[in-house]
Amino acid sequence: MKKTLAFVLAATMLVLLCACGGSGNTDTTDPAKIKGEVIDAGEVKALLPEGWMNVPATDVFNDNAAKTNELKFYKGAKSDQDQFSCPYVQIDYYGENHTSMDVKDLYDNVKDVEDVVAGSYTFTGYTGEMVEGYTNAILWLKDNPDIMQVTLNLTSTKNGVKSIELTDADLIAILSSIEY
């Protein structure tokens, strides 16, 4: 009798652990369901999805003071050193009275991208390679191109993280959450 009761209790615990011990019902295909924390640099803030790392932007020409207009998020990074090997999103907010410099000529294999709609924002831009094998995307707000630029390093093969696609739910969640 004691063995039977112990077996039933063990089986019940096993079933409960299996039911509760999973990774949860996380739908990562819907940008609205991406979880994370909002990172506020001062002049710009955005959602940092779970599994991404924020590396605070600093001004190397000003005693490494924190930049209040820039965010840097690295997909799959575990330490600051991973910023050199992981795909990333860099958001640069310039403000209302700024004229952006066109850097398209610095890239090879340039291709215009279809508009990227993220929440109330529509981004436009292009992809290209500055270093062979590493594709970047440069995006800006379609209706106000000088106020903000988003630079993405789309490809990397280290740490098991291979790329960011312009349609990834976590990228769309980041872009749609931007506030300035």
Q: Is residue 89 part of a domain?
A: yes
**What is the model's pLDDT at position 158?**
55
Q: Is residue 21 part of a domain?
A: no
Q: Is residue 165 part of a domain?
A: yes
Q: Print the domain residue range for 82.
A: 36-177
Distance from chain centroid for Cα 38: 12
Q: Is residue 8 part of a domain?
A: no
Number of domains present in the structure of the chain: 1
Q: Is residue 159 part of a domain?
A: yes
Render pLDDT for 45-75 as a digit per residue (tens, 0 to 9).
Answer: 999 999 999 999 888 888 888 899 999 999 9
Q: Is residue 90 part of a domain?
A: yes
pLDDT value at 23 more than 50 = no
Render pLDDT for 119-170 as a digit per residue (tens, 0 to 9).
Answer: 999 999 999 998 877 889 999 999 888 888 999 988 765 555 568 899 999 9
- Rounded to an integer, the average pLDDT of 15-19 is 33
The span from the CA of 107 to the CA of 128, in Å, is: 5
Q: Between 103 and 112, whose confidence is greater? A: 112
The span from the CA of 134 to the CA of 154, in Å, is: 7
- What tokens does 72 get? 């840097």
Q: Is residue 53 part of a domain?
A: yes
**Mean pLDDT for all residues in the chain:** 81
**In a 3-state reduction of DSSP, which class is residue 3?**
helix
Q: Is residue 72 part of a domain?
A: yes
DSSP 106-130: G-EEEEEEEEEEETTEEEEEEEEEE
Render pLDDT for 73-110 as a digit per residue (tens, 0 to 9).
Answer: 999 999 988 888 889 999 999 988 777 777 899 999 99
CATH of the domain at 96: 3.40.1000
**What is the model's pLDDT at position 154?**
85
